Chain A
Amino acid sequence: MLTFLLRRFLSAIPTLLLSSLLIFFIIQLAPGDFLTPARLNPNITPEHIAALQRNLGLDRPLPVQYWRWLTNMFQGDFGESFAYQQKVLALAWPRILNSMCLVLPYLILYYLIAIPLGVYGALRQNSLGDKTINVVMYILLGFPSFFLALLVIFGLLQLRYATGWDIPINGMTSDNYLSLSPLGKFLDIAKHVAIPALVLAVSDAAGLTRVVRGQMLEFLHADFVRTARSKGVSEFSAVYRHTLRNALVPIIAGLGGLLPAIISGAGFIEVVFAYPGITPMTLDAIASQDLFLIAGVTMLSVILLIIGNVLADILLSVVDPRIRYA
């Protein structure tokens, strides 16, 4: 196991170097730079723009900018944001924590919805329930999550009008958050997170439900399950210990992608619900070409992707006895 980890660690170095190179230069390929909007400002003179360029280091040749960024990164410094004039990590970290508060409940809901529905669909194949789930999932598959979120917000607003309940419509905390007790703070965030997490889980579960259902159907008719049944194991054991465990192997292999997913936020849902996660900040950074903020956040998710994949491989060896790392 230790040699396996060491090998993975060594192979990660060229991967990281290459991805840092790609990230930096692909961002540079986009026309214009952070100061482009300033050029359209009638109140800023070209001399002042030149001074700003000097201050931000945008006048230096690209390879020099890259080398400085790379060497700083080895010391844990992911560069400084142009817009905030602050270190990328200090800026991104609180946002990443906020995103985690949304993404973790979402992931739990996601699996809690998708796996039971998939198992149910496979066990009661072609029943009315299975068909209903199929139809609903088909519709959700073709439905962008941000649009679903907009509909939900509209619905919540009508509910608020009709009942007068104080339902949170957006944000992460209430106005009186700071004066709440620790338990009150937790409940306040839970209240705000519940709806976006559910919307995201429901709209994403459509795909996974179909995968689980397909996998279950395949393994339910496999030889080893028939053998187990003929040897007299209970139906529960045949379904959950023999079939489900095998059906989940490809899903566990995919867990490697979860770690970066946790820090890369919940995408447009965060924007629509005005949730202070990492996505709105990254989108802003992309729109304003805040070079080091985009590059820093992207590098962080590459690093986590590599760690996540190692963890997924280890998990896989636990679930699937055929896989062993020497």
Chain B
Amino acid sequence: MRKALFVALALTVGSATAAPFVLPAKWMAANPSQAKTGGEVRIYSLSDYKTLNPFTSAEADSLPDLMSDVGLGGLFTQDPSTDKFIPHMADAMPTVSNGGKRFVVKLRQGMKFSDGQPITADDFVTTFKIHTDDKVGSNSYDSFFLNGKPITLKKIDDYTLQFDFPQVSSGAYVRMAFIPWPDHVFGPVYRSKGAEGIKAMWGISADPKTIVSPGPWVISNYQPGQRAVLRKNPYFGEWNKDGAGKPLPYLDTMSIRLLKDLNAGLAAYLAGQIDTFAPSKADDLAQIKRAIDSGNLKAQLFPNVSPNATSQWIVFNWNKAADPFKQKLFRDVRFRQAMSHIANRQGMIQLALGGLGTEVYTGVYPVFKNYQFASTPKYPYNLAQASKLLAQIGFTKKNAQGYLVDRTGKVLEFNLSTNAGNTVREQLGRIFADEAKKVGVKVNFTPIDFNNLVDQLTSKGPNRPFDAILLGLSGGDNIWPYGSNVIPCGGNLHAYNVPADGKCLTPQESLMTKLYYQGDQTLDDDARRKIGEQLSKAEALNQGFVYLVGTNYHVTFNSRLGGEYDRDLWDAYNLSRPYAHLTTYIK
């Protein structure tokens, strides 16, 4: 009797330590009990898949990413309702010591790869080793270093890991949250053949039977250039449940059509052959709406859900030793503020983006709502204000052609370029040049080849080969949403001022650099946000980049799909469904 009791007790303790991750019901739009199991979701991708190898894949939404997608990463994931990190592959939040530099993480027990093998500390350690071997060329390489100093990872026991950071980092949870790949597959190859052996594994034509996934999906078939079919990893559901206790994912398969052309994607969506579509142009939205209204397409359309994590900007070159007139002009903050006043952002949204866009005033994309501050100054469209500022610099008179000239008769003009072929940027540039002409600034706008443009932008030294460039950046996260090589002086995308020695020129830049590192080395969310408020203010006052507009995020999906996030959680960062259709079900 006592023995039986002991066994029962051991079983309950055992199952308690192997508790599954339960997807919070408050995230979801519908009650999990409504979800049905089985079926297929049909999606599309615009670019061809290049590899199945998680260590060499370079593009976003690659097949290894899709197969393993559990949010931001493995150990921890961001709760979309609070932006805080919660444990996923970790059993609990880590024990932090050594002043915020040491993290001891207990792994969730009972996790398995798609071949049924348990996921343990060895898998994390081997994956970490391969990512940090520079001969492999992994895209994640940089995320395991802080200012060039390596993060170290040690196995304490089979289910305990210890991370040691060279300094306190705001990105600690993101950096620790990488996806583990099987040690029993990659480890022996890496130990015997090194980086070359790893690079030769899991090419795009590899046999799907040899592929092992830690995530909800595993490849079942790939037809080059046509279609990839992922099937559910049944072991994933053993440690990932919904609020009603059902294993995730609900679906049996996810098929991805490869459509080179966006019009082909739209046609396939309108024909009901795929279930979701990412509309970006007003014309696409109009066609989808027409098809829904006429009853030909049973789908739902949600335009302007949020801004996208992207923006377009104009940057002025401060390193023009050969042209002291322009160098002095571009270094004058009043000139850059005047240029921001010239940017007719509403006009740009209406004309270039078909009304589907958002005004942008700082480097933090408006979708990162937790880092938007009322105290950040703005220089909105105001031609009178622009003229006033230009007069302060000494441009009071106009010549016969109507352009502003200084006391010596020099015309206020500069060259502005963008990458040819990007129709939106070409239109933004024209609108800017037209508005500039109204106040008497001559803008010579010329679209040029993309690679030439990037070479100009990333060039270094006292005399860089451009006046002004219109371009955009995208990506990042809402934990510390400032670019590591954009904000600090010396960064290769600190594009307005890149002297050979990488030194700051203005006190504002020095302040931004200081605040950037200060915030980046703060683990506490609220304290970091306070630093962010100061940084945003310094950035806006500096106007190193004159931010213009960003596109918006729209959602549409076939009515046969259920399982999306609560409507309040949708945005371009959280998207509209958790983790690559993890909770999607067929109604």
Contacts and interface: CB of A to CB of B under 8 A. Distances in A.
Contact of A274 (B199, B260, B270): B260
A199 to B, nearest CB: 14
A48 B142 contact: yes
A153 to B, nearest CB: 5
Interface stretch (A9-17, A29-37, A133-141, A255-263): A29-37
A42 interface: yes
B199 A273 contact: no
B268 interface: yes
A161 B135 CA distance: 54
A323 B143 CA distance: 69
A271 B51 contact: no
Contacts of B51: 84-86
A41 to B, nearest CB: 8
Interface residues of A, number: 54
A284 B42 contact: no
A94 B268 CA distance: 24
Interface string A162-185: 000000011111010110000000
Interface string A21-41: 000000000111100110111
Contacts of B204: 84, 86, 91
A274 B142 CA distance: 36
Interface of B: 40, 42, 47-48, 50-51, 53, 56, 58, 134-135, 137, 139, 141-143, 148, 199, 203-205, 221, 223-227, 255, 257-261, 263-265, 267-268, 270-271, 273, 291, 294, 296, 449-452, 454-455, 457-458, 471, 473, 475-476, 483-486, 492-493
A309 interface: no
Given A31-B449, A40-B493, A170-B264, 9 more contacts: A36-B455, A40-B458, A42-B493, A45-B142, A45-B485, A84-B50, A85-B56, A95-B225, A161-B291
B475 A42 contact: yes
Contact of B225 (A30, A43, A276): A276
Contacts of B221: 178
Contacts of A160: 271
A88 B455 CA distance: 28
Nearest to A146: B261
A150 interface: yes
A98 interface: yes
B255 A272 contact: no
A222 interface: no
B227 A173 contact: yes
B42 A175 contact: yes
Contacts of A52: 137
Contacts of B226: 98, 171-173, 276
A44 interface: yes
Contact of B135 (A55, A91, A280, A283): A55
A271 B273 CA distance: 18
Contact of A271 (B260, B294, B296): B260
Given A32-B455, A40-B454, A90-B205, A83 B50 contact: yes
A157 B224 contact: no
Contact of B267 (A42, A90, A91, A170): A170
Given A52-B137, A175-B42, A274-B259, A44 B142 contact: yes
A45 B147 CA distance: 10
A113 interface: no
Which 7 residue pairs across A and B have the least CB separation, nearest first?
A32-B451, A276-B225, A274-B264, A42-B483, A280-B260, A274-B259, A161-B296
A321 interface: no
Nearest to B229: A178
A173 B225 contact: no
A228 interface: no
A281 interface: yes
A55 B492 CA distance: 21
A177 B227 CA distance: 11
B263 A150 contact: yes
Nearest to A290: B50
A218 B283 CA distance: 51
Nearest to B136: A55
Given A173-B226, A284-B47, A84 B263 contact: no
A41 B137 CA distance: 15
Which residue among A85, A271, A274, A283 has the maximum number of chain B CB atoms within 10 Å of its CB? A274
